[in-house]
Amino acid sequence: MSIATTIFHIQGHTPESIEQALEAIFASEGRVRAPRVEGTYSAVLEHAASPELDAPYRYLLLRTRPTGWTPLLELGLRAEGLDIELSRALGGATIVAVFQYGEIVSGYRVVRQGSEVDRYLSDPTAFEEEDGETEATGAVAQTLSAEEIEATRGRPDRFADLLPAGTSADEFTRVVLRPGWWEERDAGETSAADDSGEGDWADEVDRARCIGLALELWATDSYPLTEDLEELPNIEAGPAIALAWE
């Protein structure tokens, strides 16, 4: 998975309707769509990731999964609030965005009826640096208040109906969300990583995979979108559509 990847999962909507909604959203911002490509997953991914594609906003739209979710991979610049705009454009559709920033932090955001329902960050302070800049992005770091940190704890009871039968919100929290920073914070033991850049944190790649697995966003027994996207076989991902806007 790339250093900054967000995957939107839209419930109950076809790729065609999602594409139409995206077109309307970006058109309202005055952005022109770059050439659209449809074909095998690997060929379309190669096109969408090509440095020769002169468009900062890039997306890969996959076919609807048997579990009822349609994945939309954000491969270019982050479009702030896109999940909320998409939900509104699709009649209040439920959208779960799963994101991961390398080995640093992972999380999710759940949107319904055009509003945020819940969000989670595995470490809300991951990008804070003493010199005021984030090591990962070079952007000026913003210190979060206690209230802002608490808002990223993740409260899956707010969307418990999305969890499969037999999986409780409490179990999801205990197994997937709390290990690492939150567990140590609650125990009063939160500390920075050591000089090697490694700490006693959970594996963020595995955590993102477990989020997708727990919500059955891909299948009931797998969530491959935390792997190298280039290695995902065509037979598993199926046809795809590359979309981009200038």
pLDDT at 102: 80
209-245 burial, b at 16+ Cβ within 10 Å, e below that, comes to bbbbbbbbbbeeeebbbbeebeebeeeebeebbbbbb
Kindly give the residue spans of alpha helices, DSSP state H, lying in the chain.
Answer: 15-28, 41-49, 82-89, 146-150, 169-172, 181-186, 204-214, 234-237
Q: Give Dmax (Cα) for the chain.
A: 52
Give per-residue pLDDT as tens, 92-134. 999 999 999 888 899 999 999 999 999 999 999 987 754 444 4
Report whether pLDDT(52) > 90: yes
pLDDT at 195: 39
- The pTM score is 0.89
Could you tell me the residue ranges of all domains in the chain?
Answer: 5-245
Report whether pLDDT(244) > 90: yes
